[in-house]
Homo-oligomer: A and B are copies of this chain.
Amino acid sequence: MRSDLDHLMQSNNLDAVLVLGPGQHNPPMVYLTGIAHLSDAVLIQKRAQPPVLLHRSMERDEAAATGLQTIDMEKHYGDLSRLLELYGQAGGDLRHAGAARLAQILTDQGLQAARIAVYGRMDAGAAYGLFSTLEKYLPNLTLVTEGGESILQTAMLTKDAAEVEQIRRVGQITTAVVAQVAEFLTSQRVQEDVLVKADGRPLTIGEVKARIQLWLAERGAENPEDTIFAIGGDAAVPHSSGRPDDLLRLGQTIVFDIYPCQVGGGYFYDFTRTWCLGYAPDEALALYEDVLAAYHLVGSKLRPGTPLRKYQEMVCEFFHSRGHPTLQEDPLTERGFVHGLGHGLGLYLHQAPFFRLNAPEALRLPAGTVVTVEPGLYYPERSLGVRLEDTFWIDPDGPVAPLVDYPLDLILPCRLK
């Protein structure tokens, strides 16, 4: 968790963490500043010292509201074009100006020859240009660019109580909206096997999705990555998000996967139910029962310290025993169980830990992490897909359970009128 950062810097021989970019929808920045209305900021956290936030002049009040120590970047370092003059670089290359300013900031922080881990949402090419140039300005600086084992990712792997409560609150909003959608669907009429509205016209997936956006906004959540509301053939491909013009037809599987976050780019929640309107055909019901059994199997076995791949193996073996293809026998299968069992979640929708077959034995389920469990079965040739997903907190002190309860039922009753 966040309080581990100093310790992690020390054990990785790092002098500081440097985060660039906006104060919204930028997980590394939000992790250290909270959601803040900053368009372009620099955060420096030196080992065993409180963070320092450098901000634009006209965002001084927003920066101050973070409660961190702040420095007005424009007042102290001038704007980019002035820096360009200062450094006597060739005309108008903002990359050099940005790198020059950052070099001066790091020097003033005593970090010109430090080992620093860098983070923050940026354009990939701009980041490469910036850091390549920065290393020329400060030849003794070491920029530590990490893969999955980044210290920030490691810190984010486990959540403190306040973070868990924030995720739970997003979960409460999520499930409240799911309940609204269920209520909305079951209150429609049915004509010729599709839902129709009061005006007699058929309801579309586009209209359902528009309501989901609205109801999330109404409850104070944001939905930056869309929603999966996929019926029939689309339900049978895990990330097909649903076609706006499709109708809501009885007896087909609907995969409803919803993953909103706090307004401004805060904590996410991730949740999936599969519904059949009116009735479930036998083959849909059979798939559902296998997925439900896998969900309960994993749910009952979630224990801190277990190797992550054990869970993926457990579900592959269970589905195999029920006659379904899985990634274990065919890593490229598009039928049966075709994806990872789940993933960590927090300020990123997808982050470590990941349940993967080929994860090293040493990667274990950490106490205090928040993960999704989402077994699914998909048969594109039969236009059938079923997935069930909840977000679990691996409570170090207690039983492991979803952060928010919601019924797992398959069938949504419909009124034939």
Which residues of the other chain, B, contact A409 by a CB distance below 8 angstroms? none
Restricting to A256-287, which residues have a CB under 8 Å from any CB of B? Answer: 263-265
- Cβ of A338: which chain B residues have Cβ within 8 Å of it? 57-58
Interface contact B120-A124, CB-CB below 8 Å: yes
**A126 at the B interface (CB under 8 A):** yes
A188 at the B interface (CB under 8 A): no
Q: Within A126-153, which residues are at the interface with B (CB < 8 Å)?
A: 126-132, 143-150
> Could you tell me if A128 and B118 are in contact, using CB atoms closer than 8 angstroms?
yes
In contact, A147 and B213 (Cβ under 8 angstroms):
no
B residues near A359, Cβ cutoff 8 Å: 81
Report whether B129 and A119 are in contact in the complex, using a CB–CB cutoff of 8 Å. Answer: no
Question: Which residue of B is nearest A61, CB measured?
Answer: B240
- Which parts of A231-273 form the interface with B (CB within 8 Å)? 234, 237-241, 263-265
Does B145 lie within 8 Å of A128, measured CB to CB?
yes
Find chain B residues with CB under 8 A from A96 CB.
147
Q: Which residues of B contact A21 (CB under 8 A)?
A: 124
Given contacts A224-B265, A237-B61, contact A125 B119 (CB under 8 A): yes
Residue in contact with A126 in the complex, picked from B92, B145, B234, B360, CB distance below 8 Å: B145
Contact of A305 with B by CB under 8 A = no
Asked whether any CB of chain B lies closer than 8 Å to the CB of A59, the reply is yes
Are B237 and A58 closer than 8 Å at their CB atoms?
yes
List the B side residues contacting A56 at CB < 8 Å: 239
Instruction: Say if the beta carbon of A169 comes within 8 Å of chain B.
Output: no
Point out the residue from B28, B129, B226 that lies within 8 Å of A123, measured CB to CB: B28
Which of chain B's residues has its CB closest to A35's CB? Answer: B226
Binds B, one of A195-203, A214-222, A290-298: A214-222
Q: Are B224 and A24 in contact (CB under 8 A)?
A: yes
A122 sits at the interface (CB 8 A): yes
**B145 near A95: Cβ-Cβ < 8 Å:** yes
Q: Counting CB contacts under 8 A, is A47 at the interface? A: no
Given A21-B124, A213-B263: A94 and B148 within 8 A (CB)? yes
CB distance from A24 to the nearest CB of B (A): 6
As for how many copies of this chain the complex holds, the number is 2
A128 contacts B128, CB within 8 Å?
yes
A101 sits at the interface (CB 8 A): no
Q: Is residue A79 within 8 Å, beta carbon to beta carbon, of the partner chain?
A: yes
A240 — which chain B residues lie within 8 A by C-beta? 37, 59, 61-62
Query: How would residues 2 to 33 of chain A score, 1 for a CB under 8 Å from any chain B CB and 0 otherwise?
Result: 00000000000000000011101100100000
Q: Does A356 contact B (CB under 8 A)?
A: yes
A60 at the interface (CB under 8 A from B): yes
Give the residues in chain B near A265, CB-CB below 8 Å: 224
Does residue A117 face the partner (Cβ distance < 8 Å to B)? yes
Q: Output the least CB separation between A253 and chain B (Å).
A: 16
Q: Is the CB of A210 within 8 A of B214?
A: no
A165 at the interface (CB under 8 A from B): no
Closest partner residue, chain B, to A60 (CB atom): B237
Residue ID in chain B nearest A55 by CB atoms: B239
Q: Which residues of B contact A60 (CB under 8 A)?
A: 237
**Most chain B CB neighbours (cut-off 10 Å) among A56, A60, A131, A143:** A131
Complex interface residues of chain A between 144 and 169 (CB less than 8 A to chain B): 144-150
Would you call A334 an interface residue if the criterion is a C-beta within 8 Å of the partner chain's C-beta atoms?
yes
Question: Is residue A121 contacting chain B, with contact meaning CB distance below 8 A?
Answer: yes
| A75 engages B145 (CB within 8 Å) | no
- CB contact between A217 and one of B132, B145, B213 (< 8 Å): that residue: B213
CB distance from A155 to the nearest CB of B (A): 14
* Contacting residue for A81 out of B79, B132, B222, B358, CB 8 A: B358
Known: A61-B237, A118-B124, A124-B127. A217 touches B216 (CB 8 A): yes
The 10 listed contacts between A and B (C-beta, < 8 Å) are A37-B226, A37-B240, A58-B239, A60-B237, A92-B360, A95-B147, A118-B128, A120-B123, A210-B220, A226-B264
Nearest first, the 4 closest Cβ-Cβ pairs linking A and B are A129-B145, A95-B147, A217-B217, A94-B147
